[in-house]
């Protein structure tokens, strides 16, 4: 809606002209944030369960602090993603949903394909290989391919988290912009 104040036109956004829409948006925010938090917790627990399939040295390092290194980008991404989903415009929300999905899928791919190491060199395997065949000994070329996929998944995860953070910052800047 536009209204004339003197010689300039001023736009009144949906919160000014449509209080019912603004109220619906406020009631939907806790649901969105709850779904985001639930999804993130489920993905982290799923990734941890995948790592439990091959309990080698990676599992031990994960238990003694490595989990925090993996968890930090997820928490930061979830905070900014929640802000983008609750305060961003339609384009920011759509981008945030896609980036959060990419974050989750890349984390699960990383957890499933990262080869675990043990004291026995022949017993190196990735969780996806163990789940698919119930063995722990695989050809080194197969394990190398899994390691390459895990590396690509890690880079994709970091890019997706950075995208979510940028979209969250965009939502913050959009909210502060006058007019």
pLDDT of the chain along its 179 residues, tens only?
A: 444 454 444 444 444 444 444 444 555 677 778 888 888 889 888 888 887 777 666 666 666 766 677 678 888 888 898 888 888 888 888 999 999 999 999 999 998 888 877 666 666 778 888 887 867 677 778 888 988 999 999 999 999 999 999 999 998 887 665 65
* Domain presence at residue 2: no
Whole domain around residue 146: which residue ranges? 30-176
Cβ 156 vs Cβ 104: under 8 Å:
no
Number of separate domains in the chain = 1
* Domain presence at residue 141: yes
Q: Give 48: exposed, middle or buried? Use CB within 10 Å, 0-12, 13-18, 19+.
A: middle
* Domain presence at residue 42: yes
* Domain presence at residue 10: no
């Amino acid at each position: 809606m536009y209204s004339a104040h003197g010689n300039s036109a001023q736009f009144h956004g949906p919160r000014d002209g449509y209080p019912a829409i603004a109220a619906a948006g406020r009631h939907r925010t806790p649901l969105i944030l709850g779904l985001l938090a639930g999804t993130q917790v489920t993905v982290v627990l799923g990734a941890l369960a995948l790592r439990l399939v091959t309990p080698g040295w990676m599992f031990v390092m994960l238990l003694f602090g490595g989990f925090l290194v993996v968890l930090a980008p997820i928490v930061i991404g979830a905070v900014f993603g929640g802000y983008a989903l609750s305060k961003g415009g339609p384009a920011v929300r759509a981008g945030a949903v896609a980036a959060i999905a990419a974050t989750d899928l890349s984390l699960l791919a990383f957890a499933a394909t990262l080869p675990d190491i043990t004291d026995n060199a022949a017993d190196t395997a990735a969780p996806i290989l163990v789940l698919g065949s119930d063995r722990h000994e695989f050809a080194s070329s197969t394990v190398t391919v899994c390691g390459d996929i895990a590396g690509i998944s890690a880079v994709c995860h970091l890019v997706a988290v950075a995208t979510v953070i940028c979209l969250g910052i965009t939502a913050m800047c959009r909210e502060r912009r006058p007019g």
